[in-house]
Homo-oligomer: A and B are copies of this chain.
Amino acid sequence: MAGVAVGMLTVPQAVAYALLAGLPAQAGLYACLAPMVIHALLSSSRQLIVGPVAIAALMVASTVGQHAAAYSDAYLGITTVLSLQVGVILILLRALQVGGIVNLLSHPVISGFVNGAAVVIIISQLAPLTGIATTSRVDDGAVDRIVLLVRFVTEVNPTAIALGVGSLLLMAAVRRWGPALVRSGAKVGGDGDVRHALGRTGPVLVTVLGTAVVAGFGLDVGVVGSVPAGLPELTLPLLDAQLWWDLAPNAVLIALVAFVESYSIGKTLAARQRRRIDSHQELLALGAANIGASLSGAYPVAGSFSRSSVNYASGARTPASALVCAVIIVLTLLWLTPLFANLPHAVLAAVVIVAVYELADFRSVVRDWRFYRGDVLTHFATFAGVLLAGVEAGLLIGVGISVVLFMRGSARPHIAVVGRLGDTPHFRNVKRYEVRTWSHLVAARVDESFYFANADTLESRLAELVDNPEGMPEDGDSAGGQAVEHLLIIMSAVNFIDTTGLEMLQRLTHRLARRDVAVHFCEIKGPVRDQLEHVAVDEWLTGRVFQTTDDAFNTLTEAAGKWIWRDVPANTRD
């Protein structure tokens, strides 16, 4: 039953996304056969449905539109090359064990990208929705499309608008009140989730109604037209080295986005059943599905959020539902293709708009703002990049900014000067807690590893702390105003030290030695301790290495003013 439900939803979406991608309607249906079946057989997820999706369609249009005219045979030929590359790249990621690279597509990058793509897609659907026959190309950006819409605004077709807006309203109504119909009636299948699936029947409804109305009244609107009946034939990709080279960068981006989307949907659905899915297996399954797409005249596929949700909600518990869905597609291809002749573009545009509207999510940005502002910046940079510079550029901008912000954060680390909390063995930031400090001892907890991007900053700031222990209350045991004699660096948050960081520590120690300040370390973690064993800390450190901050404070404060320096080798005092 889940398979039938998904199959019915799949047909209108597959046709609509194929047109969005610049491909003939049947290419969308082909994308639901071989790829979906291959994926269902290989995937570790039981409910994930792959096939044509809006985001991948947009990326295909943006890539292939630069090489050929949409809806042409050449365009389809290039698309099959792109599908093959996407599949091969996914399998290579698995084989080389570098699937972790998808983690660079962080949550804000993906959400900014999906939101931007949703807006671009909705804008691209305004022309078919209103019956405007613009001259826009499938790879036009959002700005170009708006310019064209405004220029041709007088050519709107009232019939198309009526069909399109009517479809939007009907789908909204089904989404809103559809589930309630079941609640009041008898139990259907005994699973409350089925109400969720019922709310998703809008696209099927408007497709059937729209086709019937156009056929019945002979309306004058843009329609899909004739679609060849029959199953896909084996297609072999073009062997054109230059083309392969040109497409490869975009294929990498499509592969990454397709995988991230599929994996996150699969993970969410699996978690609801206390199951896990295996990222390695998913790379293989999606890679094989895309190679299948390439060989059967389809285009790059990914996990579909709406169809997978319906599949889960309709009670699918095994991949068998995907096979049932495939049977529905086969039946459609064999006997129902004549019906597409009267399927209006305006209705398909409405189907696409509703689907991508559900993908977009701007609400989480508000929460993100309070939690971590860098992510909001990344989100909007990606979003704006997709709208203004195109989908691929937007994605790269997002990844670039998230890496730069991360580096920038760790390049300006937080340093807390700490003191003893009462008589406990615990130490806290002097700015946040009432703690005891001693004026001859500065204890600084550095909240970052010592490495090249922050070594210079840390050196200056630690040296400055010794000159001017910021806001350190001098309520310790010893007399105030005493000169600083010890700098204790608390390394509880230092996860590694690189050679630039090591040189900095040596230079800082050397520099402070000239001012009669000894440098001590404490709370060094295992991996860093292992590192330091190779560099003879004894020979250059002017102070000592303590296990805990507590030990260090006990030793350094009991001996206040009486601390004897260890012999400092001549070269460090020189």
A427 CB, nearest partner CB in chain B, Å: 10
Asked if A67 lies at the interface with its beta carbon under 8 angstroms from chain B, I say no
What is the distance, in angstroms, from A435's C-beta to the closest C-beta of chain B? 13
With a CB–CB cut-off of 8 A, which chain B residues contact A498? 106-108, 372, 374-375
Say yes or no: A499-B372 contact (C-beta < 8 A), given A407-B403, A411-B100, A507-B271.
Answer: yes
Residue A414 at the B interface, CB < 8 A? yes
Instruction: Give Cα A515 to B103, complex, Å.
Output: 26
Q: What residues of chain B lie closer than 8 Å to A407, measured between beta carbons? A: 104, 403, 406
Q: Indicate if A452 sits at the interface (CB-CB under 8 A).
A: yes
Closest B residue by C-beta to A372: B498
Report how far A311 CA is from B109 CA in the complex, Å: 52
> What CA separation (Å) do A455 and B107 show in the bound complex?
10
Stretch of A6-14, A382-390, A524-532 on the interface side: A524-532
Contact in complex: B500, A107 (CB < 8 Å): yes
Q: Is the interface of A mostly helix, strand, loop or mixed?
A: helix
Q: Is A493 an interface residue (CB 8 A)?
A: yes
Contacting pair B511 A371 (CB below 8 A)? no
Residue A531 contacts which of B371, B412, B497, B526 (CB distance < 8 angstroms)? Answer: B371
A538 sits at the interface (CB 8 A): no
A407-B403, A447-B495, A495-B448 are contacts. A372–B507 as well, Cβ < 8 Å?
A: no
Decide: B432 and A271 in contact? CB cutoff 8 A. no
The complex places the Cα of A471 from the Cα of B130 at a distance, in Å, of 66
Considering the chains assembled together, what is the distance between the CA atoms of A104 and B503 in angstroms? Answer: 16
- Flag whether A274 is at the interface (Cβ < 8 A): yes
> Which one, B413, B429, B457, B515, contacts A495 given CB within 8 A?
B413
Pairwise interchain contact B104-A452, C-beta atoms closer than 8 A: yes
A496 within 8 A of B: yes
Of listed A272, A425, A526, residue having the most chain B CB within 10 A: A526
Whether the pair B493, A106 counts as a contact (CB closer than 8 A) is no
Q: Which residue of B lies closest to A459 (CB)?
A: B267
Closest residue of chain B to A527, judged by CB?
Answer: B414
Residue of B nearest to A270 (CB): B511
Q: Are A103 and B548 in contact (CB under 8 A)?
A: no
The answer, among B106, B493, B535, for a CB contact under 8 Å with A500, is B106
A533 to chain B, nearest CB (A): 9
Partner of A527, one of B447, B451, B457, B494: B447
A453 and B103 contact, CB distance less than 8 A: yes
Complex contacts, A494 vs chain B, CB 8 Å: 493
Query: In this assembly, does A534 line the interface, its C-beta being within 8 Å of a C-beta of chain B?
Result: yes
Q: Considering the complex, give the chain B residue whose CB is closest to the CB of A463.
A: B276
CA distance A472 to B374 in the complex (A): 38
Question: What are 27 residue pairs bridging A and B, where the CB atoms are less than 8 Å apart in the complex?
Answer: A100-B411, A100-B412, A100-B456, A103-B457, A106-B452, A108-B452, A271-B507, A271-B511, A279-B456, A367-B534, A371-B531, A371-B534, A372-B499, A402-B452, A406-B452, A409-B496, A413-B495, A414-B526, A416-B526, A425-B425, A426-B548, A432-B526, A447-B525, A447-B527, A492-B492, A493-B494, A493-B495
Q: Which residues of A contact B (CB under 8 A)?
A: 100, 103-104, 106-109, 271-272, 274, 279, 364, 367-368, 370-372, 374-375, 402-403, 406-407, 409-414, 416, 425-426, 429, 431-432, 447-448, 451-457, 492-500, 502-503, 507, 510-511, 514-515, 525-527, 531, 534-535, 547-548, 550, 574
